[in-house]
Amino acid sequence: MILNIALRELRSMFLSPLAWTVLAVTQLILAWIFLSQIDVFFSIQKELATLDNAPGVTDLVVAPMLEIASVILLMISPLLTMRLISEERRNGTLSLLLSAPVSISEIVLGKFLGIVLFYLILVGMISLMPLSLIIGTELDLGKLAAGLLGLILLLSAFAAAGIFLSSLTANPVVAAISTFGLLLLLWMLERNGGDIGSESVFSYISLTHHISPFLRGLVNSVDLAYFILFIATFLLLSIRQMDAARLHR
């Protein structure tokens, strides 16, 4: 049932112009950034040739592009998650969904998997740009893989938070604004953590603090555990909220 709900959610996304617009606009912006970074790389090649252990095309082109992609997707993600549950509540179909012979966990996990599948398509399209560099230069595939993994985990975290906030309201616009506010807060906490100290609790709960190592090609258990716990926490909160809605129906 989880897979059926996920595929239904994915189909419904592509039946609306929003998903196609997100894919097109994201690719257009990132393609422009990608080409701009390549121009910068070519302009400083002579200086790089004189340096020992000079950064390569992966560090100077791919990593900045993925970093900008994470910021763009933070702004776009609330638009995709705002309708997951709140629109069902607004349209009156949530009662039908809750009365169906499926568990709350299956509903939440199915919707989560549906949006994650869309994000996988999006990340796959984004990865085509850096992979095209293999034709003319050496690309650090390990760093690229780490960056893409980090991007997928980050987007999954966005999806989990978005589902929870979408379950709290019947207004998709309110869900989108509250999701964006929460994600932006968690994104900006790194700055406060940096002022107080690297060991600050603000740094540990900041999204930026845990996505940055992936974009540098570093994969460690602490950052993996953070994203897994983040996703699991918001999914559990969503299940609890949906369960409460079923009891009060």
* Residue at 190: amino acid letter: E
Residues in contact with 220: Cβ distance below 8 Å, sequence separation at least 6, in sequence order: 213
pLDDT at 192: 55
Has residue 198 got a pLDDT over 60? no
Report the alpha-carbon angle 239-241-244, nearest 5. Answer: 110
In the predicted structure, residue 156 carries a pLDDT above the cut 60: yes
**For residue 237, pLDDT beyond 90:** yes
pLDDT(196) > 70? no
pLDDT tens figures, 82-122: 888 887 777 766 667 767 777 888 889 999 999 999 999 99
Quick count: other Cβ atoms within 10 Å of Cβ 129? 20
pLDDT band with cut points at 50, 70 and 90 for residue 169 = confident
**Cβ proximity of 168 and 233 under 8 Å:** no
What local confidence, expressed as pLDDT, does residue 235 receive?
Answer: 95
Q: Is 139 within 8 Å of 133 (Cβ atoms)?
A: yes
Residue 35 has pLDDT above 70, yes or no: yes
Residue 204 and residue 208: Cα distance in Å, rounded? 9
pLDDT at 125: 93
- The answer on pLDDT for 230 being more than 90 is yes
With 70 as the cut, is the pLDDT of residue 199 above it? Answer: no
